[in-house]
Amino acid sequence: MKTTSKSILFSAIAVLTLASCSGNPPVKTISEEEMNGYAENLKLNIEGGVYGNIYLPEEVDGIPVTWESDKPEIINGKAEGSIKPGKVTRPEIDTLVKLTANIEKENGEKGSFTQEIKVKGLAKHLTEDDYQGYLFGHFIGEGNANGEQIYFALAEEGLRFTDMNNRQPVLKSEVGEKGVRDPYICRSPEGDRFFLIATDLSIYHRGGWKINAQGYYDPSTTGSHNLVLWQSFDLVNWGEPKLLPLAPENAGMAWAPEMIYNDVTGEYIVFFASSIMNQETKMKDKPNAIYYASTRDFVHFSETKIFIDNQTDPNGKAREIIDTTVLKVGDTYYSASKDGDNREQNGGIRLMKTKNLLDKDSWEKVLDLDELNLNLNGLRIRKLDNSTLEGPEFFVYNKKDRVNSDVPEYGLMADQYSVGAGYLPLKTFDLEDRTNENNSWSVLQSGDYSFGSLTKRHGTILRITADEIQRIKDNF
């Protein structure tokens, strides 16, 4: 099912300025034909109206562009602190806004064009009391072509999930490698848009986890440079998948993407794991690290940069890091990553924190899961480290599911890849209880949750409202 779009009213208007009575020479005007060419590159192709901050180009063909808005309280055409032009404050009801782009060439020729776009009215503000359930997006395995696709499970009472859509994929990728893994669902800060991003990878179509001549898993060194993105306004209709080519040059892959909204810059930060390969030796010039690119519209992206660099072991050797998830609590960002390759010693699921999201050197260690000395009785794994777990995933418990409704609780899932047992859920009310002296951390017992009959591999849990629960049940 596809999202429909409306055409944008667009018109190019040449600026004509007559000589004043004082005898000043007339302003030179860019020709209509040339201005129309610039306008084609500057017009905003926004589907269905504006739901959040928009990208306004600040140059065209090397010529500076400035923007004016007839309703700057809704769309600000000027920079606002660290936020670039295009900040949107949604009005109470759908409103048309005229944006004018002004350009001036070095020879003094000027031109402008105006377009009218619709800004959507405010969505309902969601409170903690509005969240009544959870949507679990995941893949299930590598044994057939459908295993590496997107599946949904729904929970209305705690973490007791029911597989949806008759246990068949809800979304299937027909782009890239024709398989998707490690999905993540992000709700926009406005509340009424959803983005599902995933790894473009099919181990099934690749014939398995083959080892190459250099001793690496081949998919990690010859992998896709793309991520796969779907967008939705209702969690039911997702449109067509789109490839995002964000991996660095000479990357070995782009794995396990997630995103978080950066309210300092008004952009989404899309982050993922990549290695950097030597094209001659086919060896890694840089071990796996976490990279990011920022965007407002998932069309225009910043340069890809390091987000979290690989750690070092006690001997100073560079270590791998993959599978990062990030959660903001107050003014602090917490990350959880798989620190260390499967066979590396002293690695684990590492939690770190920072107050400066885009300063790669600001992340500091909080704890490794295996340092918590949690009770593992009844589990198929005997330790919580990189040799047993991967794919950590943060989520926030709904208010109605907390032990104390006034005390936030956080979930951390980890994929028990070494024994093929799917996700292991942990819970805490204090992410910085480093030795668990406050008994804030616990491993959920089997009676505390149910994941349904399908294996839940490296996925995502999104808090949802009663209306969203009903919509998903009605459609899946």
pLDDT the model gives residue 8: 36
Measured CA to CA in angstroms, residue 454 lies from 133, 143, 426, 469 at distances of: 19, 13, 20, 20
Average pLDDT, the chain: 92
pTM for this entry: 0.93
In the chain, % of residues over pLDDT 90: 87
Q: What is the mean pLDDT of residues 42-68?
A: 94
Mean pLDDT within 89-98: 98
Give the torsion through C-alpha atoms of 461, 358, 45, 5, to 10 deg: 10
Q: Indicate if the pLDDT at residue 311 is higher than 80.
A: no
Q: Read off the pLDDT of residues 343-358 as tens digits, 9 standing for 90 and up.
A: 888 889 999 999 999 9
* % pLDDT > 70, the chain: 94
pLDDT in tens, 166-214: 999 999 999 999 999 999 999 999 999 999 999 999 999 999 999 999 9
Residue 422 in contact with residue 450, Cβ under 8 Å?
no
pLDDT of 14 over the 70 cut: no
Q: H or E segment at 465? A: strand 457-465
Q: Is the pLDDT of residue 120 over 70?
A: yes
Q: Is the pLDDT of residue 374 over 80?
A: yes
Output the pLDDT for position 48: 87
State the virtual CA torsion across 65, 70, 71, 77 in degrees, nearest 10.
Answer: 10
Please give the pLDDT value at position 180.
Answer: 98
Whether 21 shows a pLDDT value over 70: the answer reads no
Flag whether pLDDT at 219 surpasses 50.
yes
> Is the confidence at residue 15, as pLDDT, over 50?
no
**Average pLDDT over every residue of 279-284:** 95
Beta bridge partners of 381: none
pLDDT value at 249 more than 80? yes
pLDDT of residue 20: 38
Q: Are 42 and 101 in contact (CB under 8 A)?
A: yes
Instruction: Compare 317 and 70 and report the one with higher pLDDT.
Output: 70
pLDDT at residue 458 in the model: 93
Would you list the domain boundaries of the chain? 9-119, 128-475
Q: Rounded to a whole number, what is the distance in angstroms from the first to the last CA of the chain?
A: 13
Per-residue pLDDT reduced to its tens digit, 429-460: 999 999 999 999 999 998 999 999 999 999 99
Categorize the per-residue pLDDT at 25 as very low, low, confident or very high, splitting at 50, 70 and 90: low
Residue-by-residue DSSP string for 26-46: PPPB--HHHHHHHHHHH----
| Closest to 295 in 3D by CA, of 249, 336, 246, 247 | 246
Architecture (CATH level 2) of domain 128-475: 5 Propeller (2.115)
Which 8-state DSSP code applies to residue 474?
Answer: H
3 pLDDT more than 50: no
Mapped onto helix, strand or coil, the DSSP state of residue 473 is helix
| Span 71-86, pLDDT tens digits | 999 999 999 999 999 9
Distance separating alpha carbons of residues 362 and 292, to the nearest angstrom: 15
Instruction: Quickly state the pLDDT bin for 9 (edges 50, 70, 90).
Output: very low
How far from chain centre, in Å, is Cα 271?
A: 7
- Whether 103 shows a pLDDT value over 70: the answer reads yes
Encoded amino acid at 395, one letter: F
The answer to which of 101-110, 190-199, 315-324 has the lowest mean pLDDT is 315-324
